[in-house]
Structure 1
Amino acid sequence: MRKRFDRTLLASLAGAWVALAVSGCANVGQPNAQNGAATSANAASGVPAANATGAASGDPAAAAPLSIGASDNTPLKKSPPLVYRVRRGDTLARVAQHHHISVKQLQAWNGLKASARLKPGQVLHVASPETVRAATAAAQSAAQRASQATAQTSAQASTQSAAPAPDPTEVREVTQETRRHASNVALAWPAAGSVVEAFQPGETRGIEIGGKAGDPVRAAADGKVMYAGTGLNSYGSLIIVQHNKDFLTAYSHNRKLMVKMGDIVRKGQQIAEMGDENNSRVSVGFEVRRDGKPVDPLPYLPQGRG
């Protein structure tokens, strides 16, 4: 965050704050807390799936053999069919020849006599019991992986929504406070790390508080989220919280945003995960702005640390 003071960027941020304050609580898109919805594998349930092998030959025995497969986010490879549904005119010899097996194997796998006549719609096993067991085990493994991925996604979503929503009374109180003028604001530290870069008038816009990727970034005071996104250069994923008509705080370089524009946040509530977006190290860039101008955050924070 050590840069020469960028007047154009300052004007952009101040302008964005004013515009957002006027525009109200319209939602804007942000990285899903997540920033990730997550992709899960769909496992086969054992219901045969159509295979068009040999359909172009015109041979009735070549019509739509059935197979069991599974998907685990990798391209589905063509696998030999496990079962075949008999069509009119099929014989044991023709079905065996089409699936590259012997008539004796076809009889053994299906408990058929040599004189057996096939009926349309009859389902025949065209793979050995060992192959069927291996395919079933693979499908079950894929289903288990898919279940675990779904459970993990659900757990993450539950964690992200764990913070209770403020009740209507709190919303009214915070909203009223944002409409009042104030000569001061009492802030809490937004992160647990140490100050790795101090405020320098004309050179920096705030302070940097170091930490590890994923560390919680918390609201420094009650307020309303006026911006949450990545639209301002050099800030990375940025959150701006208005506390009253004179003071706002900004939190930049986040890995993940956990609030959106218009949200009411309470002091100490987690609003983001620490990251290094548009920065050379993992930290949260913390700014205090009074009337749109950056000021040293330290006088507004509890002493004895940093």
Structure 2
Amino acid sequence: MFEDRIGQRTNGLKGFWAVLAMAVLLGGCADMGQQQQQPEPDTAAAASPSSDAAGANAASEQPVATAPVTRVVTKTTYVRVRRGDTLQRIAQKHGASVKDLSAWNHLKPNGHLRAGQSIKLVSKQTIAVQAGGAANSAANAAGSREVAAEVARHANSVTLVWPAHGRVVELFAPGATRGIEIAGKAGDPVIAAADGKVMYAGMGLNEYGSLIIVQHNKDFLTAYSHNRRLLVKTGDTVHQGQQIAEMGSENNDRVAVLFEVRRDGKPVDPMPYLPSSPQS
């Protein structure tokens, strides 16, 4: 069985990148198609007095712009502990209190930290949005712009959260497995490990079953395989912690999500990029 898994992972590598390349190509073609199919303006209608009147009426019916209001949003990030770090030092560096850090991470205030451990930071940010129904769309647009900027830049690392709560039933092994498998029950949530753009969502590879690929920056992407149901589509912007799929057993002999981290196209061990446990 283990040899079968190795063969599937190895044979799936070329197909994985072929699917991703096709997704990028199709995305570009779709944009071009939309541009080419734009209708020509109707000059006759534009010169018509009735259309002028209709335009004036439509303009008068448009809602009056409202003044922007402020909105407080909560953001969760993770930092990796370096040798010699303490909770007090991390708290001072990031403008938090030791008490809050301890509570967020279920640690004792004087507890020992180990190098490589992930520490959760929770912050509140105030953003300006339009009042009324435009508030959510304005906030979403701002979030999408931030993610797009991050996806477009190079990065030396990526801070991830666990894509599922469950037991790790298969570890990463260079040349043998290309990620880790986290077991669970059919329908359990699979979440985005970090903000990013969905580069692919579909059934393009038999070895992977129902697959989602999320690009986080120019150097890192994550992949989520064997899902029962996909909740996002190619081109979507996703945020860390957002549910993107339901766990399943598509083209797999158990209910689990195969989670991969790839840096510059090469599979790397996801564990160093994740908090110490799925419950962290």
TM-score interval, smaller chain: 0.5 to 0.7
Equivalent residue for 1:248, pick from 192, 211, 221 = 221
Question: Unmatched 5+ residue regions in structure 1?
Answer: 28-162
Task: Tell me, in whole angstroms, the C-alpha distance in 1 between the residues paired with 2:238 and 2:208.
Answer: 21
Count of residues in Structure 1 that have an aligned counterpart in Structure 2: 171
What is the root-mean-square deviation in Å for CA atoms of aligned residues? 2.4
State the match for 1:302 in structure 2.
275
> What residue identity is the alignment partner of 1:178?
V
Task: Tell me, in whole angstroms, the C-alpha distance in 1 between the residues paired with 2:29 and 2:241.
Answer: 24
TM-score, normalised on structure 1?
Answer: 0.52
Equivalent residue for 2:143, pick from 167, 170, 175 = 170
Structure 1 pair 283–172 and aligned structure 2 pair: CA distance change class (3 A): same
Task: Tell me, in whole angstroms, the C-alpha distance in 2 between the residues paired with 1:184 and 1:224.
Answer: 17
State the match for 2:177 in structure 1.
204
Structure 1 pair 26–259 and aligned structure 2 pair: CA distance change class (3 A): farther
Task: Tell me, in whole angstroms, the C-alpha distance in 1 between the residues paired with 2:168 and 2:188.
Answer: 15
State the match for 1:263 in structure 2.
236
Task: Tell me, in whole angstroms, the C-alpha distance in 2 between the residues paired with 1:164 and 1:300.
Answer: 32
Structure 1 pair 164–298 and aligned structure 2 pair: CA distance change class (3 A): farther
CA deviation string 1:203-246 (max 9, x = no partner): 11100001000000000000000000001121111100000011
Contact 2:192 2:244 in 1 (8 A): yes
Task: Tell me, in whole angstroms, the C-alpha distance in 1 between the residues paired with 2:213 and 2:192.
Answer: 10
Question: Unmatched 5+ residue regions in structure 2?
Answer: 31-135
The structure carrying a bigger strand percent of its residues is: 2
**The residue matched to 2:206 in structure 1 has which SS?**
coil
**The residue matched to 1:4 in structure 2 has which SS?**
helix
- The correspondence of residues 35-114 of structure 1 with structure 2, limited to 5 A, is none
State the match for 1:188 in structure 2.
161
CA deviation string 1:103-146 (max 9, x = no partner): xxxxxxxxxxxxxxxxxxxxxxxxxxxxxxxxxxxxxxxxxxxx
Shift of 1:202: 0.7
State the match for 2:152 in structure 1.
179
Equivalent residue for 2:193, pick from 220, 223, 236 = 220
Structure 1 pair 179–257 and aligned structure 2 pair: CA distance change class (3 A): same
Contact 1:4 1:204 in 2 (8 A): no
| 1:16 lines up with 2:19 in the alignment | yes
Task: Tell me, in whole angstroms, the C-alpha distance in 2 between the residues paired with 1:167 and 1:194.
Answer: 33
Contact 1:26 1:261 in 2 (8 A): no
Shift of 1:6: 4.7
**The residue matched to 2:248 in structure 1 has which SS?**
coil
* Deviating 4+ runs (over 3 angstroms): 4-8, 21-27, 163-166
State the match for 2:6 in structure 1.
3
- The correspondence of residues 108-187 of structure 1 with structure 2, limited to 5 A, is 167-187=140-160
Contact 1:26 1:262 in 2 (8 A): no
State the match for 1:239 in structure 2.
212
Contact 1:5 1:203 in 2 (8 A): no
Contact 2:230 2:245 in 1 (8 A): yes
